[in-house]
Amino acid sequence: MFTISRGRDITIGLAVNFIRNHHDNAVPRLEKLKSYYDGKHKICGRVKAADLANNRIVINHASYIANIASGYLAGTPASYKFPEGDISPITDILKKADSPTEDSDLALDCSVYGRSFELMYMSDDEKPVPKLAKIDPRSAFVVYDDTVLHKPLFGVTYYPVFNDNGMHEGYMCSLYTADTIAPFRTDTGFTVTEEGEEEAHHFLSVPLNEIYNNQSCQGDFEQVISLIDAYDLLMSDRVNDKEQFVNALLLITGSVLGDDSSEKSETYQAVKDNGILELPSDAKAEYLIRQFDEASVEILRNAIKKDIHTISNVPDMSDDNFGGNVSGVAMAYKLLGFELMTKTKERFFKEGLRYRLKLIANVLSKRNIIIDTDSIEIVMPRTLPQNTAELANTVAALSGLVSQETLLSQLPFVENPAEEIKKLREENQKALEYQRSVFSLRSDGAEDESKER
């Protein structure tokens, strides 16, 4: 986290100093994390002698961990509840901005880089509305004050600029404060070459929103990179052993296959082509092969794989013991570490979503639409198969002991318990009226029949 004193003047020169710091110290780590997510692991750079097998196999646990963790957090769109009034002006803006897709992208960046950035800007429509844009963490940062509140003072985005020949000639930068946006350009050494016209914005706070993944801003697979490297190395050497077994050396004892190198080469090629070798009776031929313990290698592979999932807290969904008709309690224990990690991610992600709501509310306040975003409840449901039959039995067993709304909230397919209760009461009322009408018809028919008699 970058911090400065709250009373310090915010200038382009100050922003450039932080850009240099970010580019030199933060970006190399972020580049490494992105490379591992993309499958460009350490094993890809291994060099061996030309005559040795050099398979470089990548089993991309990094991508698996990031995709599962981010999908579990934001795979199902977040919902917003406001008991004190109408928040449709905010939810309409979020719907037009396709916030579920934005949330999914931000969650993935958090899993990969340990943080994500979202820029809010106004559209160029006749009646401008707030829009959302995900910013690459390698090209953005936010600077906070040095108080315990750590309020954002300014944010910066910077992107490389290339000329017509594809040569890197500098960076296009923007400085965002609580009131203004100041564009400027630098050369490749981050010396300012051009300053654009400063413009005011309508968000009343820094429009660059930073979302943390956890307290240390680490990616979800960052702590297991060494284990991922070990797994890649083991699998690559495992295939190398197989390849070298096929290309084993032929040892001939008690005979030679030629008087000179040329004659020997011809004999070697003939043996290779025909698969037949003639030797004197006292000579012998055998392959030199390397012995390796396949069972021990498999035990080591499983141990490394288990450690990867244990340390990252992301379960191996392909595990045979994970699926099947598992009870809710058993599933909860299997996912305990994963759930605890996700709760931490959710807490920080909700802070980012709340800051987004605050920026939108600040824009709406200029149109005399006042919404207290602190009272909005953000709900982020989990994306996980559940034993619905077991939940239904639990709900039925607790009927009469717990309120209907609380019971219905436990069922994953019930989105709005209060609305569901209302629908149920209406259905029951219609059924009751129908029964009364049927009973009334039967009563009238009985009276008519008695009169006829």
Please check whether residue 367 lies inside any domain of the structure: no
- DSSP assignment of 55-89 equals ------HHHHHHHHHHHHHHSSPPEEE-TTS--HH
For residue 318, the cross-strand partners are: none
Q: At what angle do helices 225-246 and 61-74 cross, to 10 degrees?
A: 140
pLDDT of residue 284: 82
What single-letter amino acid sits at 241?
Answer: D
The predicted-structure confidence for 297-347, as pLDDT tens digits, reads as follows 899 999 999 999 999 999 988 776 665 556 666 777 788 899 999 999 999
Tokens linked to 401? 């002991």
Taking residues 43-65, report their average pLDDT: 92
Residue 264 domain-assigned (yes or no): no
| Domain region containing 447 | 386-453
Domain end point (choices 195, 221, 247): 221
Q: How far apart are CA 157 and CA 355, in angstroms?
A: 18
Span of 88-92, 126-130, 158-162, 438-442 with lowest mean pLDDT? 438-442
pTM of structure: 0.81
Last residue of a domain, one of 156, 188, 221: 221
Cα angle 116, 120, 121 (rounded to 5 degrees) comes to 145
**Count of CB atoms within 10 A of residue 323's CB?**
10
Which pLDDT score, from 0 to 100, does residue 102 have? 96
* Res 329: pLDDT: 67
Residue 275, both tokens: 């698969």
Query: Is 344 part of a structural domain of the chain?
Result: no
Sign for the pseudo-dihedral over CA of 394, 398, 403, 404: positive
Q: Which of 300, 287, 315 is nearest to 384 (CA)?
A: 315
Last residue of a domain, one of 187, 221, 255: 221
Q: Determine, yes or no, domain membership for 238.
A: no
- Predicted confidence at residue 327, as pLDDT, reads 63
In a domain, 47, yes or no: yes
In a domain, 260, yes or no: no
Query: d(Cα 358, Cα 205) in Å, to the nearest integer?
Result: 9
Number of domains in the chain: 2
The answer to whether residue 351 is domain-embedded is no
Long-range contacts of range 419-425, CB-CB < 8 Å, 24 or more positions apart?
none
